[in-house]
Homo-oligomer: A and B are copies of this chain.
Amino acid sequence: MAKIPRSSENDYTDAMSQTRRTFLQQETGAALSHLGHYSIAPHTLAGNIENFTGVAQVPVGFAGPMRVNGECAKGEFYVPMATTEGTLVASYSRGMRLTREAGGITTTVIDDAMQRAPMFAFTNAREAMDFGKWVEQQFDNIKVASDATTSVGRLRNIEQYAVSKLRWLRFNFTCGDAAGQNMVSKATKAGCEWILAHYPKKIDHFVLSANLDTDKKHSHLNSLHTRGKRVVAEITLPKQLMTDIMHCPPEALFKQRQYSNMGALLAGSVNNGAHFANGITAMFIACGQDVANVAESSAGFTYAEITPNGDYYFSVTIPSLVVATYGGGTGLATQNECLNVLGCTGKGNVNKFAEIVAATVLCGDLSLGSAVVADEWVSSHERLGRNR
Protein backbone atom coordinates (compact mmCIF):
# COMPACT_ATOMS: atom_id res chain seq x y z
CA MET A 1 0.00 0.00 0.00
CA ALA A 2 1.03 3.56 -0.58
CA LYS A 3 2.53 5.88 1.99
CA ILE A 4 0.25 8.38 3.67
CA PRO A 5 0.75 11.79 1.97
CA ARG A 6 2.70 14.34 3.94
CA SER A 7 3.87 17.83 3.16
CA SER A 8 7.44 18.49 4.08
CA GLU A 9 6.72 22.19 3.93
CA ASN A 10 3.59 22.62 6.04
CA ASP A 11 1.66 19.56 7.00
CA TYR A 12 -0.82 21.30 9.27
CA THR A 13 -3.29 22.70 6.76
CA ASP A 14 -6.86 22.01 5.73
CA ALA A 15 -5.53 21.10 2.31
CA MET A 16 -3.26 18.39 3.61
CA SER A 17 -6.01 17.14 5.88
CA GLN A 18 -8.28 16.90 2.82
CA THR A 19 -5.53 15.28 0.76
CA ARG A 20 -5.19 12.55 3.31
CA ARG A 21 -8.93 11.96 3.56
CA THR A 22 -9.12 11.67 -0.21
CA PHE A 23 -6.16 9.32 -0.20
CA LEU A 24 -7.68 7.09 2.47
CA GLN A 25 -11.03 6.98 0.68
CA GLN A 26 -9.29 5.91 -2.50
CA GLU A 27 -7.11 3.32 -0.80
CA THR A 28 -9.76 1.80 1.44
CA GLY A 29 -13.08 2.74 -0.12
CA ALA A 30 -14.28 4.19 3.16
CA ALA A 31 -16.23 7.45 2.92
CA LEU A 32 -14.83 10.06 5.31
CA SER A 33 -17.47 12.75 5.19
CA HIS A 34 -17.79 13.31 8.94
CA LEU A 35 -14.13 13.05 9.89
CA GLY A 36 -13.40 16.24 7.95
CA HIS A 37 -16.09 18.22 9.73
CA TYR A 38 -14.21 20.31 12.25
CA SER A 39 -13.81 23.88 13.38
CA ILE A 40 -10.31 23.73 14.78
CA ALA A 41 -7.48 25.37 12.89
CA PRO A 42 -4.98 22.75 11.71
CA HIS A 43 -2.01 24.98 12.45
CA THR A 44 -2.88 24.82 16.16
CA LEU A 45 -2.30 21.09 16.10
CA ALA A 46 1.44 21.08 15.50
CA GLY A 47 2.85 19.49 18.64
CA ASN A 48 -0.34 17.53 19.23
CA ILE A 49 -0.59 15.13 16.33
CA GLU A 50 1.04 14.09 13.07
CA ASN A 51 -0.74 13.27 9.81
CA PHE A 52 -3.77 15.29 10.91
CA THR A 53 -6.72 14.03 8.88
CA GLY A 54 -9.80 15.20 10.72
CA VAL A 55 -11.44 14.86 14.11
CA ALA A 56 -13.25 12.24 16.09
CA GLN A 57 -16.54 13.79 17.11
CA VAL A 58 -17.08 12.49 20.62
CA PRO A 59 -20.47 13.50 22.06
CA VAL A 60 -20.28 15.67 25.16
CA GLY A 61 -22.96 15.86 27.84
CA PHE A 62 -22.85 17.92 30.99
CA ALA A 63 -23.61 16.53 34.44
CA GLY A 64 -24.43 18.59 37.47
CA PRO A 65 -24.46 21.04 38.98
CA MET A 66 -22.03 19.48 41.45
CA ARG A 67 -21.15 21.24 44.69
CA VAL A 68 -17.51 21.11 45.74
CA ASN A 69 -15.94 22.44 48.92
CA GLY A 70 -12.38 22.08 47.83
CA GLU A 71 -9.19 23.82 48.75
CA CYS A 72 -9.13 25.10 45.19
CA ALA A 73 -12.48 24.14 43.68
CA LYS A 74 -15.16 26.07 45.50
CA GLY A 75 -18.78 26.27 44.43
CA GLU A 76 -20.95 24.53 41.88
CA PHE A 77 -19.81 23.09 38.59
CA TYR A 78 -21.31 21.74 35.39
CA VAL A 79 -19.09 18.82 34.47
CA PRO A 80 -18.34 18.07 30.79
CA MET A 81 -18.25 14.37 29.96
CA ALA A 82 -17.33 13.00 26.55
CA THR A 83 -18.59 9.46 26.33
CA THR A 84 -20.56 7.02 24.23
CA GLU A 85 -21.69 4.89 27.17
CA GLY A 86 -25.38 5.50 27.74
CA THR A 87 -26.54 6.22 31.35
CA LEU A 88 -23.15 7.55 32.32
CA VAL A 89 -24.02 11.24 32.40
CA ALA A 90 -27.37 10.45 34.00
CA SER A 91 -25.80 8.29 36.66
CA TYR A 92 -23.11 10.81 37.58
CA SER A 93 -25.78 13.52 37.67
CA ARG A 94 -27.76 11.49 40.17
CA GLY A 95 -24.71 11.29 42.43
CA MET A 96 -24.19 15.03 42.02
CA ARG A 97 -27.76 15.70 43.10
CA LEU A 98 -27.31 13.57 46.18
CA THR A 99 -24.03 15.18 47.20
CA ARG A 100 -25.29 18.67 46.44
CA GLU A 101 -28.22 18.19 48.75
CA ALA A 102 -25.85 16.84 51.37
CA GLY A 103 -23.92 20.12 51.29
CA GLY A 104 -21.18 19.32 48.82
CA ILE A 105 -18.00 17.33 48.52
CA THR A 106 -14.79 18.08 50.36
CA THR A 107 -11.77 17.73 48.11
CA THR A 108 -8.04 17.99 48.75
CA VAL A 109 -4.93 17.47 46.68
CA ILE A 110 -2.72 15.84 49.30
CA ASP A 111 0.35 15.12 47.18
CA ASP A 112 1.79 16.19 43.83
CA ALA A 113 4.67 14.74 41.85
CA MET A 114 5.51 13.81 38.28
CA GLN A 115 8.50 11.60 37.66
CA ARG A 116 11.01 9.97 35.42
CA ALA A 117 13.10 7.13 36.82
CA PRO A 118 16.46 6.59 35.12
CA MET A 119 18.37 3.41 35.87
CA PHE A 120 22.07 3.03 36.46
CA ALA A 121 23.91 -0.30 36.35
CA PHE A 122 27.21 -1.02 38.06
CA THR A 123 29.74 -3.81 38.41
CA ASN A 124 28.06 -5.00 41.58
CA ALA A 125 25.52 -4.07 44.23
CA ARG A 126 28.11 -2.49 46.47
CA GLU A 127 29.11 0.01 43.83
CA ALA A 128 25.44 0.69 43.16
CA MET A 129 24.97 1.42 46.87
CA ASP A 130 27.96 3.76 46.93
CA PHE A 131 26.53 5.58 43.95
CA GLY A 132 23.25 5.96 45.81
CA LYS A 133 24.97 7.64 48.73
CA TRP A 134 26.82 10.00 46.42
CA VAL A 135 23.57 10.97 44.68
CA GLU A 136 22.05 11.86 48.05
CA GLN A 137 24.97 14.17 48.77
CA GLN A 138 24.81 15.78 45.34
CA PHE A 139 21.08 16.49 45.35
CA ASP A 140 21.52 20.27 45.20
CA ASN A 141 23.79 20.06 42.17
CA ILE A 142 21.50 17.65 40.38
CA LYS A 143 18.57 19.94 41.10
CA VAL A 144 20.35 22.90 39.58
CA ALA A 145 21.02 20.92 36.41
CA SER A 146 17.47 19.60 36.19
CA ASP A 147 15.65 22.81 37.02
CA ALA A 148 17.71 24.78 34.50
CA THR A 149 15.86 23.04 31.66
CA THR A 150 12.43 24.34 32.61
CA SER A 151 10.87 27.52 33.87
CA VAL A 152 8.09 25.63 35.60
CA GLY A 153 9.28 22.22 36.75
CA ARG A 154 11.04 21.94 40.09
CA LEU A 155 12.87 18.86 41.30
CA ARG A 156 11.35 18.02 44.67
CA ASN A 157 13.26 14.90 45.72
CA ILE A 158 14.89 11.76 44.36
CA GLU A 159 13.79 8.38 45.66
CA GLN A 160 16.08 5.41 45.21
CA TYR A 161 15.12 1.81 44.47
CA ALA A 162 17.59 -1.03 44.21
CA VAL A 163 17.74 -4.58 42.91
CA SER A 164 20.94 -6.45 42.23
CA LYS A 165 23.59 -4.14 40.77
CA LEU A 166 20.89 -1.87 39.35
CA ARG A 167 19.73 1.39 40.90
CA TRP A 168 16.75 3.44 39.85
CA LEU A 169 16.52 7.11 40.77
CA ARG A 170 12.90 8.29 40.86
CA PHE A 171 13.07 12.02 40.15
CA ASN A 172 9.97 13.77 41.53
CA PHE A 173 9.03 17.14 40.09
CA THR A 174 6.27 19.64 40.57
CA CYS A 175 5.20 20.91 37.17
CA GLY A 176 2.90 23.87 37.62
CA ASP A 177 -0.25 23.52 35.53
CA ALA A 178 1.26 21.01 33.12
CA ALA A 179 1.00 17.25 33.44
CA GLY A 180 4.72 17.39 32.90
CA GLN A 181 5.79 14.05 31.44
CA ASN A 182 7.91 15.65 28.74
CA MET A 183 9.11 18.39 31.03
CA VAL A 184 10.40 15.92 33.58
CA SER A 185 11.96 13.70 30.91
CA LYS A 186 14.04 16.62 29.73
CA ALA A 187 14.85 17.80 33.25
CA THR A 188 15.73 14.30 34.45
CA LYS A 189 17.94 13.80 31.43
CA ALA A 190 19.81 16.99 32.28
CA GLY A 191 20.18 15.85 35.88
CA CYS A 192 21.53 12.51 34.69
CA GLU A 193 23.96 14.17 32.34
CA TRP A 194 25.31 16.10 35.29
CA ILE A 195 25.61 12.85 37.22
CA LEU A 196 27.33 11.06 34.35
CA ALA A 197 29.77 13.93 33.96
CA HIS A 198 30.60 14.20 37.66
CA TYR A 199 30.38 10.76 39.23
CA PRO A 200 34.00 9.93 40.01
CA LYS A 201 33.62 6.17 39.64
CA LYS A 202 32.52 3.82 36.92
CA ILE A 203 28.94 3.54 35.73
CA ASP A 204 28.36 0.49 33.55
CA HIS A 205 25.12 1.50 31.95
CA PHE A 206 22.59 4.30 32.03
CA VAL A 207 19.12 4.53 30.60
CA LEU A 208 16.57 7.29 31.10
CA SER A 209 13.72 4.90 31.85
CA ALA A 210 13.31 1.22 32.61
CA ASN A 211 9.70 0.78 33.68
CA LEU A 212 9.89 1.98 37.25
CA ASP A 213 8.32 5.37 36.48
CA THR A 214 5.65 3.90 35.57
CA ASP A 215 4.12 5.83 32.71
CA LYS A 216 0.91 4.84 30.88
CA LYS A 217 0.39 1.78 33.01
CA HIS A 218 -0.56 1.15 36.60
CA SER A 219 2.01 0.22 39.20
CA HIS A 220 1.68 -0.31 42.92
CA LEU A 221 4.56 2.12 43.30
CA ASN A 222 2.42 4.85 41.79
CA SER A 223 -0.44 4.05 44.17
CA LEU A 224 1.90 4.28 47.13
CA HIS A 225 3.92 7.32 46.11
CA THR A 226 1.69 9.33 43.80
CA ARG A 227 2.02 10.11 40.13
CA GLY A 228 0.49 13.41 39.15
CA LYS A 229 -1.95 14.44 41.85
CA ARG A 230 -3.02 12.41 44.88
CA VAL A 231 -6.47 13.70 45.53
CA VAL A 232 -9.19 12.81 48.00
CA ALA A 233 -12.92 13.53 47.69
CA GLU A 234 -15.11 12.83 50.69
CA ILE A 235 -18.54 13.50 52.08
CA THR A 236 -20.85 12.52 54.89
CA LEU A 237 -24.33 11.69 53.60
CA PRO A 238 -27.33 11.93 55.89
CA LYS A 239 -29.08 8.62 56.23
CA GLN A 240 -32.49 9.98 55.23
CA LEU A 241 -31.14 11.61 52.09
CA MET A 242 -29.62 8.37 50.88
CA THR A 243 -32.85 6.51 51.33
CA ASP A 244 -34.85 9.26 49.64
CA ILE A 245 -32.66 9.82 46.60
CA MET A 246 -30.79 6.55 46.18
CA HIS A 247 -33.37 4.14 47.63
CA CYS A 248 -30.46 2.66 49.49
CA PRO A 249 -29.82 3.08 53.22
CA PRO A 250 -26.24 3.48 54.47
CA GLU A 251 -26.20 -0.02 55.98
CA ALA A 252 -26.92 -1.61 52.62
CA LEU A 253 -24.22 0.38 50.84
CA PHE A 254 -21.76 -0.32 53.62
CA LYS A 255 -22.47 -4.06 53.47
CA GLN A 256 -21.84 -3.96 49.73
CA ARG A 257 -18.57 -2.15 50.45
CA GLN A 258 -17.45 -5.10 52.59
CA TYR A 259 -18.20 -7.53 49.79
CA SER A 260 -16.50 -5.27 47.28
CA ASN A 261 -13.39 -4.94 49.41
CA MET A 262 -13.11 -8.72 49.53
CA GLY A 263 -13.80 -9.00 45.82
CA ALA A 264 -11.05 -6.50 45.06
CA LEU A 265 -8.54 -8.24 47.34
CA LEU A 266 -9.41 -11.62 45.84
CA ALA A 267 -9.26 -10.40 42.24
CA GLY A 268 -6.02 -8.55 42.83
CA SER A 269 -7.63 -5.35 41.68
CA VAL A 270 -5.90 -1.98 41.65
CA ASN A 271 -9.06 -0.25 42.80
CA ASN A 272 -11.57 -1.34 45.43
CA GLY A 273 -14.12 1.18 44.16
CA ALA A 274 -16.72 0.88 41.43
CA HIS A 275 -15.84 2.67 38.21
CA PHE A 276 -13.43 5.57 38.71
CA ALA A 277 -12.35 5.16 35.10
CA ASN A 278 -15.71 6.14 33.64
CA GLY A 279 -15.81 9.64 35.06
CA ILE A 280 -12.11 10.20 34.63
CA THR A 281 -12.10 9.12 30.99
CA ALA A 282 -15.15 11.17 30.07
CA MET A 283 -13.62 14.29 31.62
CA PHE A 284 -10.19 13.57 30.16
CA ILE A 285 -11.55 13.41 26.59
CA ALA A 286 -13.71 16.48 27.05
CA CYS A 287 -10.99 18.55 28.68
CA GLY A 288 -7.96 17.76 26.54
CA GLN A 289 -6.10 15.54 28.96
CA ASP A 290 -3.75 12.77 27.83
CA VAL A 291 -6.42 10.08 27.85
CA ALA A 292 -3.90 7.23 27.88
CA ASN A 293 -3.19 8.24 31.47
CA VAL A 294 -6.47 6.58 32.36
CA ALA A 295 -4.18 3.57 32.73
CA GLU A 296 -2.66 5.08 35.86
CA SER A 297 -5.48 7.36 36.91
CA SER A 298 -8.04 4.55 37.16
CA ALA A 299 -6.38 3.04 40.24
CA GLY A 300 -7.63 4.06 43.62
CA PHE A 301 -9.06 3.50 47.04
CA THR A 302 -12.55 3.75 48.44
CA TYR A 303 -13.06 4.07 52.16
CA ALA A 304 -16.41 4.29 53.93
CA GLU A 305 -17.80 4.40 57.45
CA ILE A 306 -21.16 4.39 59.15
CA THR A 307 -21.00 7.34 61.51
CA PRO A 308 -22.22 7.00 65.11
CA ASN A 309 -25.54 8.59 64.16
CA GLY A 310 -26.09 6.32 61.18
CA ASP A 311 -24.96 8.60 58.35
CA TYR A 312 -22.60 7.45 55.61
CA TYR A 313 -19.06 8.75 55.34
CA PHE A 314 -17.75 7.98 51.87
CA SER A 315 -14.46 8.82 50.21
CA VAL A 316 -12.44 8.16 47.12
CA THR A 317 -8.66 8.55 46.87
CA ILE A 318 -7.06 8.80 43.45
CA PRO A 319 -3.34 8.28 43.98
CA SER A 320 -2.06 8.87 40.47
CA LEU A 321 -4.29 11.33 38.71
CA VAL A 322 -2.35 12.77 35.80
CA VAL A 323 -3.97 16.07 34.83
CA ALA A 324 -3.11 19.40 33.27
CA THR A 325 -4.70 22.75 32.58
CA TYR A 326 -1.80 23.86 30.40
CA GLY A 327 -0.03 22.11 27.54
CA GLY A 328 -0.95 18.88 25.79
CA GLY A 329 -4.48 19.04 24.43
CA THR A 330 -5.77 21.61 26.89
CA GLY A 331 -5.42 24.47 24.44
CA LEU A 332 -7.42 22.86 21.64
CA ALA A 333 -10.72 24.40 20.69
CA THR A 334 -13.46 22.32 22.30
CA GLN A 335 -11.19 21.08 25.05
CA ASN A 336 -10.37 24.59 26.14
CA GLU A 337 -14.05 25.51 26.10
CA CYS A 338 -14.82 22.66 28.46
CA LEU A 339 -12.01 23.65 30.81
CA ASN A 340 -13.40 27.15 30.64
CA VAL A 341 -16.87 26.00 31.72
CA LEU A 342 -15.15 24.65 34.83
CA GLY A 343 -13.19 27.85 35.34
CA CYS A 344 -9.98 25.89 34.94
CA THR A 345 -8.23 27.86 32.22
CA GLY A 346 -5.56 30.37 33.12
CA LYS A 347 -2.68 30.05 35.50
CA GLY A 348 -2.74 28.04 38.74
CA ASN A 349 -5.85 25.98 38.20
CA VAL A 350 -4.56 22.45 37.89
CA ASN A 351 -5.39 21.48 41.46
CA LYS A 352 -8.87 22.95 41.03
CA PHE A 353 -9.32 20.69 38.05
CA ALA A 354 -7.95 17.68 39.94
CA GLU A 355 -10.42 18.31 42.74
CA ILE A 356 -13.36 18.53 40.32
CA VAL A 357 -12.33 15.24 38.75
CA ALA A 358 -12.14 13.55 42.15
CA ALA A 359 -15.51 14.94 43.19
CA THR A 360 -16.99 13.66 39.95
CA VAL A 361 -15.51 10.22 40.57
CA LEU A 362 -17.08 10.18 44.02
CA CYS A 363 -20.49 11.00 42.58
CA GLY A 364 -20.25 8.24 40.03
CA ASP A 365 -19.18 5.64 42.55
CA LEU A 366 -21.98 6.59 44.92
CA SER A 367 -24.51 6.37 42.12
CA LEU A 368 -23.39 3.06 40.67
CA GLY A 369 -22.86 1.54 44.11
CA SER A 370 -26.37 2.49 45.13
CA ALA A 371 -27.80 1.20 41.88
CA VAL A 372 -26.11 -2.17 42.27
CA VAL A 373 -27.46 -2.45 45.77
CA ALA A 374 -30.92 -1.20 44.87
CA ASP A 375 -30.96 -3.59 41.91
CA GLU A 376 -31.59 -0.79 39.48
CA TRP A 377 -28.40 -1.33 37.65
CA VAL A 378 -29.31 -3.64 34.82
CA SER A 379 -32.70 -2.05 34.40
CA SER A 380 -31.34 1.50 34.14
CA HIS A 381 -28.96 0.41 31.42
CA GLU A 382 -31.93 -1.17 29.71
CA ARG A 383 -33.92 2.02 29.75
CA LEU A 384 -31.26 4.59 28.83
CA GLY A 385 -28.80 2.52 26.87
CA ARG A 386 -30.22 1.07 23.75
CA ASN A 387 -27.55 -1.63 23.49
CA ARG A 388 -27.53 -1.31 19.80
Contact = CB atoms under 8 A, between A and B. Distances in A.
B384 A334 contact: no
Contacts of A294: 277, 281, 291-292, 294-295, 298
A370 interface: no
A197 interface: no
A20 B222 CA distance: 39
Interface stretch (A82-90, A138-146, A238-246): A82-90
Contact of A39 (B30, B37, B106): B37
A156 to B, nearest CB: 13
Contacts of A40: 34, 57, 59
A299 interface: yes
Contact of A331 (B2, B178, B388): B388
Contact of A38 (B37, B48, B89, B277): B37
A161 to B, nearest CB: 6
28 contacts: A27-B78, A28-B340, A32-B341, A34-B333, A35-B60, A50-B87, A54-B60, A54-B334, A55-B58, A58-B285, A71-B126, A84-B329, A108-B124, A124-B232, A163-B266, A166-B259, A166-B303, A168-B266, A208-B372, A209-B372, A210-B263, A211-B274, A212-B263, A214-B263, A220-B268, A224-B268, A266-B301, A281-B294
10 closest A-B pairs by CB: A84-B329, A47-B386, A220-B268, A211-B263, A295-B298, A125-B232, A30-B340, A34-B333, A51-B61, A37-B39
Instruction: Give the contact-size bracket for chain A.
Output: 35 or more
A270 B270 contact: yes
B164 A4 contact: no
Nearest to A256: B207
Interface in A156-187: 161-166, 168, 178, 182-183, 185-186
A217 interface: yes
Given A55-B57, A58-B58, A265 B262 contact: no
Contact of A53 (B1, B62, B208): B62
Interface in A357-386: 372-373, 375, 377-378, 381-382, 384-386
A20 B262 contact: no
A88 B52 CA distance: 12
Contacts of A277: 216-217, 292-295
A207 B84 contact: no
A110 B81 CA distance: 34
B185 A381 contact: yes
Interface string A194-213: 00000000000101111111
A147 interface: no
A128 interface: yes
A367 to B, nearest CB: 13
A47 B388 contact: yes
Interface string A257-277: 011111111111111111111
A89 B328 contact: no
A98 interface: no
